[in-house]
Amino acid sequence: MTTISATVTTPKIVLDTHNNLFSFEGESYPEDVNAFFDPIMNPLKTHLKNLQDADIQFDFFLTYFNSASTKVFFNLFALLEEITEFNRVTVNWKHHEEDDTAEEFGQEFKEDLDNVRFNFIAI
Amino acid sequence: MTLNDFRTLKDMIEAKNVIFCYNGYLSQEIIVAVSSMIKGKLSSDETKMGISQKVLYMFVEQAQNITRYSPDQIQNPDQASMSYGSVAIGTEDDKFYIMCSNRIEKTKVAALKEKLDLISSMSPDELKALYKEKMRSEAEEGSKGASVGFIEMARKSSEPIEFDFLEDDETYDYFTLKVVI
């Protein structure tokens, strides 16, 4: 299990590849989004592409993220939809009850996902 | 600057209901610190969370555009780079405005103007379609972000985005942008 601690501009990330439980929690607006996310997302995507008949769960609780981070998550969600062909994928999109901006971002991600089970959890 | 000059400057800023304004070198550290101030200030004003999140979003996008694209940069080997520009956040008619200004190479003006003219003329549905298209495509050449910042700002803005380019010298223009929430 890999745990990457949060910084003021990057989220806490937990990658439990044994149980296929993944979480992203916090804020995401690093100056160079690709420099931060590429080393995390590239091996994660490789892992996900190799899964078969697995139960995969992603928990997101992002309180703030910039446009470049949005694209990183958008690409991840596209891959999650792809791998539903061989797996069961659940995304739990957590947001503060009053934070309709974060909720709207979740809605937009969900629109493109037909086979990922996408849950909204207001906190 | 005399003491009176400084007071005049301060009075002008306060008359425009400015919560924050900055004119100078911006760095990621400053963006983080100001974001924290914005959250604290808007929270104490009991601004709705959805609104304060949008204000924060606009500020970070605009300030990070300056740190990425302002031609007036200082690169110190032992420090994060700093870029010169201006940012302001304030209120008018019970709405928040977020503005930024920085110099831009004349050679880059036409492409940016074309992009912003297109974005500012689009309906919400057209903006959404363009946004999704950009999300799926590779980042534009020379872009250090995701090329979607302006589109997202236009989508989150309650009024059409305003912008202009003013002559500075033979090499540079001044780019100024305003969004309203």
Strands A88-95 and A117-122: parallel
- ipTM confidence score: 0.85
Do A70 and B146 count as a contact with CB atoms less than 8 A apart?
A: yes
**Averaged pLDDT, B28-52:** 92
Q: Are B102 and B86 in contact (CB under 8 A)?
A: yes
Q: Which of B58-67, B72-81, B92-101, B157-166 has the lowest mean pLDDT?
A: B72-81
| Dist CA A121 CA B14 (whole Å) | 41
**Averaged pLDDT, A21-32:** 94
Q: Is the pLDDT of residue B144 over 80?
A: no
**Averaged pLDDT, B36-58:** 92
How many angstroms separate the CA of residue A74 from the nearest CA in chain B? 7
Query: Closest by alpha carbon to B157, among B17, B36, B57, B44?
Result: B57
Do A78 and B136 count as a contact with CB atoms less than 8 A apart?
A: yes
**Averaged pLDDT, B35-55:** 92
Q: Are B38 and B89 in contact (CB under 8 A)?
A: yes
Smallest Cβ distance to A74: which of B68, B135, B139?
Answer: B135
Q: What is the pLDDT of residue B76?
A: 81
Q: Is the dihedral of CA B26, B28, B32, B35 positive or negative?
A: positive
**DSSP state, residue B74:** E
How many angstroms separate the CA of residue A31 from the nearest CA in chain B? 6
Instruction: Give contacts of A96 with chain B, Cβ < 8 Å.
Output: 49
Q: What is the pLDDT of residue A2?
A: 93
**Averaged pLDDT, B80-103:** 95
| Dist CA B52 CA B96 (whole Å) | 9
A90 contacts: CB under 8 Å, gap ≥ 6: A55, A56, A57, A58, A116, A117, A118, A119
Q: What is the pLDDT of residue B79?
A: 76
How many angstroms separate the CA of residue A52 from the nearest CA in chain B? 25
Q: Are A103 and A95 in contact (CB under 8 A)?
A: yes
**Averaged pLDDT, B90-102:** 96
Other CB atoms within 10 A of residue A85 CB: 8
Q: What is the pLDDT of residue B179?
A: 97
Q: Amino acid identity of B70?
A: S
Do B145 and A68 count as a contact with CB atoms less than 8 A apart?
A: yes
Q: What backbone phi and psi angles, to 5 degrees, belong to A2?
A: -105, 130
Report the share of chain B in percent with pLDDT over 90.
82
Mean confidence (pLDDT) of chain A? 94
Rg (CA), chain A: 14
Residues of B engaging A, defined by a Cβ cutoff of 8 Å: 28, 31-32, 35, 48-50, 53-54, 56-57, 60-61, 64, 67-68, 80, 132, 134-136, 139, 144-146, 148-149, 152, 156
- Please report which confidence band the pLDDT of residue A100 belongs to, taking 50, 70 and 90 as the band edges: confident
CA atoms within 13 A on the CB side of B45: 15
How many angstroms separate the CA of residue B18 from the nearest CA in chain A? 23
How many angstroms separate the CA of residue B165 from the nearest CA in chain A? 24
pTM of the model: 0.90
Q: How far is CA A25 from the centre of its chain?
A: 9
Q: What is the pLDDT of residue A7?
A: 95
CA atoms within 13 A on the CB side of A74: 22
pLDDT digits over A48-61, tens only?
999 999 999 999 99
Q: What backbone phi and psi angles, to 5 degrees, belong to B142?
A: 85, -5
- Please report which confidence band the pLDDT of residue B143 belongs to, taking 50, 70 and 90 as the band edges: low
| Token output for A2 | 């890999």
How many angstroms separate the CA of residue B57 from the nearest CA in chain A? 7
Beta pairing partners, B174: B103, B166
Beta pairing partners, A121: A94
Instruction: Give contacts of A74 with chain B, Cβ < 8 Å.
Output: 135-136
| Dist CA A23 CA A3 (whole Å) | 9
Do B48 and A31 count as a contact with CB atoms less than 8 A apart?
A: no
Instruction: Give contacts of B53 with chain A, Cβ < 8 Å.
Output: 64, 99, 101-102
Do B149 and A67 count as a contact with CB atoms less than 8 A apart?
A: yes
**Averaged pLDDT, B53-63:** 94
B69 contacts: CB under 8 Å, gap ≥ 6: B83, B102, B104, B144
A-B Cβ pairs (cutoff 8 Å, strict)? 67
Q: Is the pLDDT of residue B118 over 70?
A: yes
Q: Is the pLDDT of residue A94 over 90?
A: yes
What would the DSSP string read from start to end of B119-165?
A: HHH--HHHHHHHHHHHHHSPPPTT-SS-S-HHHHHHHH-SS--EEEE
Report the share of chain B in percent with pLDDT over 70.
94
Do A66 and B67 count as a contact with CB atoms less than 8 A apart?
A: no
| Dist CA A54 CA B123 (whole Å) | 42
- Burial of A115 per CB tally in 10 Å (0-12, 13-18, 19+): middle
Beta pairing partners, B18: B90
Do B53 and A101 count as a contact with CB atoms less than 8 A apart?
A: yes
Beta pairing partners, A61: A25, A94
